[in-house]
Structure 1
Amino acid sequence: MNILENIYSRRNIKKFKPDMVEPEQINKWLEAGTMAPNHKMTQPWEVYMIGSETRTKLNHKTNFCQAPVVLAILSKHGSTEIETYENVLATACFVQNVNLAAWAEGVGTFWSSMGNAAKNREIMGIPDGYDVIGVFGFGYPEEISQPKERTSIQEKMKYLP
């Protein structure tokens, strides 16, 4: 699959098969994530592997769509407000690299934003000075939804003189 096919076909998965994803695969995708652009090589991302006990305590409304693997991806705050902002952007690029690398090998992801809630930060032991970019389920898709219609990029472009 070429990169454009990968980008256009990737979906947020809402139903996973129970088949386990090998840790070596996940590590490979996370390594690919580290190739994301990041200002001044801050490499601000941290990854928490969520075990069954923590997953139960998080009590996600869909149990991460039954994904066999769950990760939390964090972004470390910078020493300034702008550096913190840049770190969040870099971590989002990290996430996209990981998602696309997994998708290229037939593994989908489910992105939940519930990780930054105070209760969930406490459950996961997230220290001050970090933002939780997302909690992600990883697994082989049971079903893949059709793409939702997108606004044409032409409607989103501004041409400056």
Structure 2
Amino acid sequence: MEFLEIIRSRRSSGLVTDEPVSKEMLEKVLEAGTWAPNHHKTEPWKYFVLTGDSRNRLGEVLAKISEQNMEDPSSESNQKKIMKAKENSLRAPVIIVAAVEPSNHEKVIVQEEFGAVYASIQNMLLAAHALGLGGIWRTGQSSYDPLMRELFGLSEQGEVLGFLYLGHPRREVPAGKRKSIEEVTRWLTKESDFENL
């Protein structure tokens, strides 16, 4: 597949089969992540690949995080929400948890460390798509909860930045749509162009 077509045709899709994904494919996805740009060559990313029963541990923590934010976790509706949060970890045969561990080097700007991991996540999503895998990047408040940092042994500065749910797609995803570049781009060729922004 031609590269620009890979970018245009990639879609987030959580509809994947239970069929295992080969370690070889996952290693290609992970390696793509490590080639993201990062200032000062800090390589601030950490990846955790969850398969099999290890996903249950993530589910338990997701449930606990969901429960701690409820006034009455024992209510029937909240019990359903807690169970749903727990089952989220089983929606795909593979979960790559992408985290940042910012460098403490004096020249490093912390936001740029986060940016590098976000770029890394995009690389992995594109690589997964190029390999014929389906995937979706999930985040949310639970990603940034201290319990998640604890689960993956991250430092106080570390942060989980997302869960990449990957698997073999159940079906083709529909074509996407984006705004035209004319709608989102301003071409500035002279100083006076700034006056019309």
TM-score bracket for this pair, using the shorter chain length = 0.7 to 0.9
Alignment of 1:82-101 (within 5 A): 83-101=109-127
Percentage of identical aligned residues: 31
Question: How many correspondences in the alignment?
Answer: 161
Alignment of 1:56-135 (within 5 A): 56-57=59-60, 58-59=62-63, 61=85, 63=88, 66-79=91-104, 83-114=109-140, 115-135=143-163
Report SS of the residue matched to 1:149.
coil
Deviations 1:27-76 (A, max 9, x none): 12111221111111111100012323323212464625721001210112
**Could you list the runs of 5+ residues in structure 1 that have no partner in the other structure?**
none
Q: Give how far 1:123 is off.
A: 3.8
The 10-residue stretch of structure 1 (42-51 or 56-65) with the greater mean CA deviation from structure 2: 56-65
Q: Give how far 1:144 is off.
A: 3.8
1:81 and 1:118, CA in 2 relative to 1: closer, same or farther beyond 3 A? Answer: farther
| TM-score using structure 1 length | 0.87
Amino acid at match of 1:33: G
Task: Measure, in 2, the Cα distance between the counterparts of 1:112 and 1:10.
Answer: 15
Instruction: Give the structure 1 partner of residue 32 of structure 2.
Output: 32
Report SS of the residue matched to 1:29.
helix
Query: Is residue 6 from structure 1 mapped to residue 2 from structure 2 by the alignment?
Result: no
Report SS of the residue matched to 2:109.
helix
Task: Measure, in 1, the Cα distance between the counterparts of 2:109 and 2:3.
Answer: 30
Instruction: Give the structure 1 partner of residue 195 of structure 2.
Output: none
1:19 and 1:75, CA in 2 relative to 1: closer, same or farther beyond 3 A? Answer: same
Report SS of the residue matched to 1:98.
helix
Task: Measure, in 1, the Cα distance between the counterparts of 2:41 and 2:108.
Answer: 15
Q: Give how far 1:21 is off.
A: 0.4
Q: Give how far 1:14 is off.
A: 2.2
Amino acid at match of 2:117: T
| TM-score using structure 2 length | 0.72
